[in-house]
A and B are shown apart, each in its own frame.
Chain A
Amino acid sequence: MSKMKHNRERIHWVFQRISGLQLLICFGIHVWVFFFKLERPISLDGLQVIFSHPEWIVFYTIFIALAIYHGFSGLWTVLTDENPSKTYKKVWKIILFVSAILLISITLWNLILLGAL
């Protein structure tokens, strides 16, 4: 009966670690892009060249989604650590979830705009 709940805790912990690892890899690629692939000095045009390729848009979408997931699930852990009451937790859950979705969609929108320009 309580298996569901326990599973969630477990999955949460595992994904936190996996997303962390992937973030590291993505960040490596990101650094590589900025140091070696972009022409100096960095300009909007240079960026546009990169973002006109769909694979980079996909890459950055994943990167940003991961980062936001990792950050917000971290925040959620901090929240559970504080051992709050159930209603308090519910409210925060909704706030965190909505703001995470909002953040992801805003950044995605911006990326697409950047590519389309």
Chain B
Amino acid sequence: MKEKTYKLSVFRFDPFVDTKHRFINYKVPGSKAKTVLDALLFIRDHIDGTLAFRASCTQGRCGSCAMHINGKYGLACETPLRAGKTTIRPLAQLPIIKDLMVDMERFWEKYESIKPYLVRHSGEARQSYTNRKEMDSMIDCILCGACFSACMMTGMNPDFHGPAAYVTLNRFLRDERDAIHDQRMELVTGENGVFRCHSMYNCNDACPKNVKPSENILEIKKNIV
């Protein structure tokens, strides 16, 4: 019986050497790979050791391997290989370090700028059961950066915080124990803030964890008004 092979077309670009990116085709035996990440690892291990991409947990939990696969953002470790060619590109909007590895600096900077930590009122109030339950939907974000890349506005405006940061922001705005509610609002109401989002829902489509950043941003807007 002839073994099934998967065809991959992988984005390659080394900013120090190349002037233009190129797509290189690889063939990966079906017995060695089930997911896109398996295939990429197979390429790095057995075909071309210079392919650069990030990967860690292989279980869809760490968020390292977000990339653009067949026209859709997703985690390589969660995306099964399909028959036909699989085209893989790096995350958009961010500078490329090499091949599929992008510089996430700006993403983290924006995430940190919204103060992703709880500042308590004095005393140690307990969070209530209902308040905790409200947060179930927004704590699944693994900060993979897929939404940040899919978003039109992060591309146009380098000061826009991006969907992932707003999800985290909304989690803290909703937290009944948080003491710097107004300060957080100040941060994102400005010209480069939350009103730059035009609800294009690209982030919802891109999110591999079904966090629905758009809904969170709408909530923030309502909250502000």
Partner of B193 from the list A9, A14, A77, A81 (CB cut-off 8 Å) is A9
For residue A80, CB closer than 8 A to chain B, the reply is yes
For residue A10, CB closer than 8 A to chain B, the reply is yes
- Binding-face segment, B66-74, B103-111, B154-162: B154-162
Minimal beta-carbon separation of A83 from chain B (angstroms): 4
Please report B residues at the A interface, Cβ cutoff 8 Å: 153, 156-159, 186, 189-193, 195-196, 198, 221, 224-225
For residue A40, CB closer than 8 A to chain B, the reply is no
A5-25 Cβ-contact flags toward B at 8 Å (1 or 0): 110011011100000000000
Q: Which residues 76-99 of A sit at the B interface, judged by CB distance below 8 A?
A: 77, 80-83
Given contacts A5-B191, A9-B195, A13-B195, is CB(A83)–CB(B159) below 8 Å? Answer: yes
- The size class of the interface chain A forms with chain B is 10 to 19
Given contacts A9-B195, A13-B225, A14-B225, is CB(A81)–CB(B156) below 8 Å? Answer: yes
Partner of B191 from the list A3, A14, A80, A82 (CB cut-off 8 Å) is A80
For residue A43, CB closer than 8 A to chain B, the reply is no
Partner of A13 from the list B157, B158, B221 (CB cut-off 8 Å) is B221
CA distance A14 to B225 in the complex (A): 7
CB pair B190–A2 under 8 Å, yes or no, is: yes
Minimal beta-carbon separation of B219 from chain A (angstroms): 14
Given contacts A14-B225, A80-B196, A81-B196, is CB(A6)–CB(B189) below 8 Å? Answer: yes
CB pair A2–B156 under 8 Å, yes or no, is: no
In the assembled complex, which residues on chain B have CB atoms less than 8 Å from the CB atom of A81? 153, 156-157, 196, 198
- Taking CB as reference atom, which chain A residue is nearest B189? A6
CB pair B195–A12 under 8 Å, yes or no, is: yes
CB pair B156–A82 under 8 Å, yes or no, is: yes
Please report A residues at the B interface, Cβ cutoff 8 Å: 2-3, 5-6, 9-10, 12-14, 77, 80-83
CA distance A81 to B186 in the complex (A): 19
Given contacts A81-B196, A83-B159, is CB(A6)–CB(B153) below 8 Å? Answer: no
- Taking CB as reference atom, which chain A residue is nearest B225? A14
Minimal beta-carbon separation of B147 from chain A (angstroms): 18
Given contacts A83-B158, A83-B159, is CB(A10)–CB(B196) below 8 Å? Answer: no
In the assembled complex, which residues on chain A have CB atoms less than 8 Å from the CB atom of B153? 81
In the assembled complex, which residues on chain A have CB atoms less than 8 Å from the CB atom of B221? 13
CA distance A83 to B157 in the complex (A): 6
In the assembled complex, which residues on chain B have CB atoms less than 8 Å from the CB atom of A10? 189, 195, 224-225
Minimal beta-carbon separation of B198 from chain A (angstroms): 8
CA distance A3 to B183 in the complex (A): 11
In the assembled complex, which residues on chain A have CB atoms less than 8 Å from the CB atom of B186? 2-3, 6
Given contacts A14-B225, A81-B196, is CB(A9)–CB(B156) below 8 Å? Answer: no
Minimal beta-carbon separation of A44 from chain B (angstroms): 41
Given contacts A80-B196, A82-B156, is CB(A5)–CB(B190) below 8 Å? Answer: yes
